[in-house]
Amino acid sequence: MPMPDPIVVFDLDGTLIDTAPDLIATLNAILAREGLPALPYGEARMLIGNGAKAMLSRGLAVRAHEVPPAELDRLFADFIAHYSAHVADHSQPFPGLIDALDGLEAAGFRLAVCTNKLEGLSIKLLRALRLAGRFKAICGQDTFGIQKPDPIVLERTIIAAGGDPKRAVMVGDSATDVLTARGAGVPVVAVNFGYSERPIEEFRPDRIIGHFNELAPTIAKIVEAR
């Protein structure tokens, strides 16, 4: 029986795509509706991670605006509706991504996405950027009803893409991604240009890259070492 192709599984926000401009614009639109001041870009960028609801909750907390759970659910629905309409207004792949994906595909790797973004929004964003067809699976926090850092979501993403966790590498930008990969026994490459609220070095990924032109040779070294 032939071995499955090796697979690289990417986080989405802050790893593949710089989604901060559209996420922050959406957050500030919701804050404005609540009569709250907008958050500066640099401050709001640090709130991204673990899904839109977490970002919204953090944004409200920064403005000391407490809401009951039902109200947070309403605001979250408003956030998703606004963001869905503006999901790719200003979001763009990080520099060097397209060439990196080309190189990995040419080397025989399958590609997949494992994100805490909702699956529908993830697919919509990647389609708008003409990238969706590159990935054998695009799985979000609602795909399996679990989310990172639970390693099961990564394992199921790999399987959904036709891969094998023993022949997988994860690429992410945060502690959540490192913890997810560690739990699944998968090596992890971290980018240092994402949305981590602390220096990514502190979370001890297997490798760190500062540009996507480093990705293919870095993954090759990991695969060779295994």
**Active-site residue flag, 102:** no
Could you give the CA distance from residue 207 to residue 225 in angstroms, rounded to a whole number? 12
Spell 73-92 as b/e; 16+ CB within 10 A means b.
eebbebbbebbeeebeeebe
Could you give the CA distance from residue 143 to residue 146 in angstroms, rounded to a whole number? 8
Q: What is the torsion angle, in degrees rounded to the nearest 10, for the CA atoms of residue 186, residue 214, residue 6 and residue 103?
A: 160
Burial environment of residue 66 by CB neighbours within 10 A (0 to 12, 13 to 18, 19 or more): exposed
Six-digit token pair at 178?
């490192």
What SS3 class is residue 9? strand
Q: Looking at 11, 173, 177, 206, which residue is catalytic?
A: 11
Instruction: Specify the length of the chain in residues.
Output: 226
Alpha-carbon dihedral sign for residues 182, 17, 60, 56: negative
Residues annotated as part of the active site: 11
